[in-house]
Amino acid sequence: MTAHESLIAAGAEARAGRTVWRVEMIETVRLAFPIALTQLGQIAMMTTDLALLGRLGDHVVAAAALAHTVLFAAFVLGMGLVSAVAPLAAQAVGSRNPRMVRRSLRVGLWAAVLLGVPMSLLQLRGEAILIALGQGADSAALAARYLEGLAWSLVPAWWFIALRSFMGAVNRPEPALWITLAAIPANALLAYALIYGAFGLPQLDLLGAGLATTAINVGMCAASVWVAYACRPFRKYRILGNVWRADWRLMARLLAIGLPISATFLLEYGLFAIAAIMTGWISTTALAAHQIALTVASILFMVPFGMSMAATVRVGHAVGRRDAAATRKAGFAAVMLGIAFMATMTILVIVTRHQIPLAFLGGDAADAGATADLAATLLMVGATFFIADGVQTIGAGALRGLNDTRIPLVFSAICFWAIGFGASYRLAFPGQLGAVGIWIGLSIGVTAFAVLLVWRFHVLTKRGYLPAVPSAV
């Protein structure tokens, strides 16, 4: 081959490489966009409920927050478990094994029921749990009334997550988004009717809000089951085939992947819960500013969370095809997209950091100037946190596609608690930096977690690691 021909060949190879990366990024965005919008829809429903309950008084909002604390701990446990459906189903799709796709979904549905029944019954003990945690009797009683309605929302909510994971695994996440978009106004209408007694329904205040949430979750679950059973391209998987048949071997695999995910979620949730508690030790102003900044972070987080789920699917597909190079490209394409998006959003937040708090405090923030100023400072401090938070969730999602969840659990314990909590406490109190110190500590912990996850994915994929994919026996 002449030098000229070598140059032409090298150029063609470079163009082909760029094309592969571009295609991978386009496919990741195509998957991630509807997933992210679905998550934002879930936040919209929660926000609607709180806005409707807010008209009943601050004490009701506080009780609702306590109830969500009890419920969310259980919810996160099951959410991590059924999240394991995504890598198992995606790997089965990649290996062209439709029976294993169905089995992966089936064990996720089974796990949701087996865990959901005791967890739902535990919600009915919410008043005793909150009193044991030092909450006042009146607040605990109000929260318990809310939990009486919310208790049975867990299983249908987890089923919806499992079915949404199945839809994403077959590259069709859009139906979950349409169902969520339809549920937003339905939830608002039903919650309003049951809270205030409109349209001939009884006035049930907090109980009504909980019942509305449960009813909407049941409706979303039923709609997703129907779509997955009856509509193309899902119906060819016959998801209800042998649904009552126990599959303990695959269930063990689901638990091995899913339980570390649940534990990681709980460690992360615990860190942010204790951060709120520590901020409350400082002052009410600090806690309000912290909640504003954290709400902004939570909203921004939904897009990289969608990219994380897309990364799980794309990596899982490549694993199923036994394509180590594609596995590496899928993970790093998602990471690069996440960095680009969160960097853009971070710049926007920094530029508008003085205006953002006004949306939470009202147009006239004269009486809340200290809160607005501190929130703006925390948003500035959070610049590194936002990017790292996006990278860590995408890195975790890519590793889930490789069924690698135990080592990330160890990383989370080290980074969130030994590093993040330790730094937050020392900077906030001995270091006398207050809420700013807490946010610096959070940023340090999350950044360390993100770096370790990306490093772990790099090491595994550089050596061509591919996990074993179960056969449909």
Last residue of a domain, one of 191, 225, 246: 246
Element (DSSP H or E) covering residue 127: helix 126-132
pLDDT at 418: 95
In the predicted structure, residue 266 carries a pLDDT above the cut 80: yes
| 440-451 pLDDT per residue, tens | 999 999 999 999
Are both 234 and 316 inside the same structural domain? no
Q: Looking at residue 468, what is its pLDDT?
A: 83
Q: Output the pLDDT for position 7.
A: 45
Judged by DSSP in three states, 75 sits in: helix
Mean pLDDT of the chain: 88
Q: Mark which of 226, 246, 266 sits at the end of a domain.
A: 246
* pLDDT > 90 fraction of the chain, expressed in percent and rounded: 59
Q: How far apart are CA 449 and CA 392, in angstroms?
A: 6
Residue 30 lies in a domain: no
Residue 9: the pLDDT is: 46
From 198, 226, 246, the end of a domain falls on 246
DSSP assignment of 386-427 equals: HHHHHHHHHHHHHHHHTT--HHHHHHHIIIIIIIIIHHHHHH
Does the pLDDT value for residue 99 go beyond 70? yes
How much of the chain, in percent, has pLDDT values that exceed 70?
A: 93
Residue 168 banded pLDDT, cuts 50, 70, 90: very high
DSSP labels, 233-302 = TTGGG-TTTTTTS--HHHHHHHHHHHHHHHHHHHHHHHHHHHHHHHHHHH-HHHHHHHHHHHHHHHHHHH
Q: Assess whether pLDDT exceeds 70 at residue 5.
A: no
Does residue 266 sit in the same domain as residue 320?
yes
**Residue 78 Cα to chain centre, angstroms:** 12
- pLDDT of 6 > 70? The answer is no
Each residue's pLDDT tens digit, 362-411: 544 445 678 888 889 999 988 888 999 999 999 999 999 999 999 999 99
Buried b (16+ CB within 10 A) or exposed e, 311-349: bbbbbbbbbbbebbebbbbbbbbbbbbbbebbeebbeeb
Other CB atoms within 10 A of residue 103 CB: 25
Domains of the chain: total: 2
The pLDDT score that the predictor gives to residue 265 is 92
Residues 223 and 317 in one domain: no
pLDDT digits (tens, 9 = 90+) for 200-253: 889 888 899 999 999 999 999 999 999 999 998 898 998 888 788 878 899 999
Q: Are residues 189 and 113 in the same domain?
A: yes
Q: Are residues 290 and 409 in the same domain?
A: yes
Show the domain range for 407: 257-467
433 and 313 in a common domain:
yes
Q: Are residues 373 and 451 in the same domain?
A: yes
176 & 315 share domain: no
Residues 326 and 297 in one domain: yes
Q: What is the pLDDT of residue 26?
A: 87
Identity (one letter) of the amino acid at 99?
R
CA distance 254 to 246: 13
* Most confident option among 14-18, 318-322, 365-369: 318-322
pLDDT number for residue 12:
46
What is residue 471's predicted lDDT score, i.e. its pLDDT?
A: 65
With cut-offs at 50, 70 and 90, classify the pLDDT of residue 359: confident
Same domain, 228 and 288: no
